[in-house]
Amino acid sequence: MGKRFDNSKIFTNQDVFFSWNNEEASCRGDYEIRQFGEYPDWDYPGDQETEITIHHTDRIETWSEELEDWVELIHTDELLEIVKWEIEKSL
């Protein structure tokens, strides 16, 4: 097995854009990306896992064509999972 690693980085006041109900949406807040696993060596291919933790959200909004403005959404676990997935896709 390879040598283990565990790296974390905290991001503050970040905007994450994603699609919600076929509409543009955004989330502003603080999150942490933790990547951990084992480096490869001569007989082990290595592995890595990524864990995203949202520490704080200032707002989650969606664009309203009707109002031509951003409308705040209620923070739900489902929305936060979508935000986490969008962050992970960007890595």
What would the pLDDT profile of 55-77 be if each residue is shown by its tens digit? 999 999 999 888 899 999 998 99
Q: What is the pLDDT of residue 21?
A: 87
**In whole angstroms, what is the distance from residue 52 CA to residue 54 CA?**
7
Per-chain mean pLDDT for the chain: 94
pTM (2 decimals)? Answer: 0.87
Contacts of 27 (CB under 8 A, 6+ apart): 15, 16, 18, 57, 59, 60, 61, 79, 83
With a cut of 70, say whether residue 1 has pLDDT above it. Answer: no
Question: Looking at residues 2-18, what average pLDDT do you find?
Answer: 95
